Amino acid sequence: MKKIIPFKNKYQKNAFCFLAFLLLLALLCILWILVQSRQSQESEALIYQDGVLLERINLALVDTPYTFTVTGEGGCTNVIEVRPGSIGMLSADCPDQLCVHQGFTDSSLVPIVCLPNHLVIQVDAPSSSAQTDITAY
């Protein structure tokens, strides 16, 4: 019977152990990133019109989706939907509809803005200072 030797020399064994250590370290880093990104943050949606705060909504406390309408000067209207953890513009009577096409957001990086109706929806996360400070498109 032949004896099976998994590693022929000491260098192969050391290389295998080092590679196994690196793979384990990479797996732990990926797992930590996934856990950190899934933790719920107490984010708030701030709705401004003409620079005046109209409403403050805690997105973590929303259980069921609901909509409400914001009416501005001249009868301009924006319909806003609040979902658990996110907020977005459903419809607006502005000509370009860019605010509607921005979709729903849960990020403090990019606000939803309706320039013709002077409406801004900004998500404010408590740890926003630790997040990315610039976003380019």
Cα–Cα dist 68/14, whole Å: 64
pTM exceeds 0.75 for this model: no
Q: Judge contact between 99 and 111, C-beta under 8 A.
A: no
H, E, C per residue of 45-109: EEEEECCEEEEEEEHHHCCCCEEEEEECHHHCEEEEEEECCEEEEEEECCCCCHHHHCCEECCCC
- Which 8-state DSSP code applies to residue 127? T
Per-residue pLDDT of the chain (137 residues; tens, 9 = 90+): 666 666 677 788 888 889 999 999 999 999 988 776 665 567 899 999 999 999 999 988 889 999 999 998 888 899 999 999 899 999 999 889 999 999 999 888 889 999 989 999 999 876 545 556 666 66
